[in-house]
Amino acid sequence: DVKVTQSSRYLVKRTGEKVFLECVQDMDHENMFWYRQDPGLGLRLIYFSYDVKMKEKGDIPEGYSVSREKKERFSLILESASTNQTSMYLCASSLESHNEKLFFGSGTQLSVL
């Protein structure tokens, strides 16, 4: 069974801390994505990667960076966490094709205090 695993289900951090959200997929997918989900706003794309060491900005990249050193792992980094980054973060992966669906992880609820 295909799987996208996010390292933490819940995370509480302090303002100014550096935060790492990890995501691993076991499907050999080329594409990996980081979204954040906020009530009334749906899912908004932060960054995505279409290959190892390749990344592209999504719609809301400010305050975030990403790392993809291996095909199966895609990390989201909050360099200096702020309270407005409190959100649900969803990682996803897919094959490289326009009709390929995304497989999602179970999400990380991040609270920045």
By C-beta, is 52 or 80 nearer to another protein? Answer: 52
Minimum distance from CB of 55 to another protein (Å)? 12
Minimum distance from CB of 13 to another protein (Å)? 19
Alpha carbons 14 and 23: distance in angstroms, whole number: 21
Residues 60-79 that bind another protein (CB under 8 A): none
Q: Which stretch binds another protein (CB under 8 A): 16-24, 66-74, 78-86, 92-100?
A: 92-100
CA neighbor of 90 nearest in space, from 71, 110, 72: 110
Question: What is the maximum alpha-carbon separation in the chain?
Answer: 40
> Rg for the chain (alpha carbons), in Å?
13
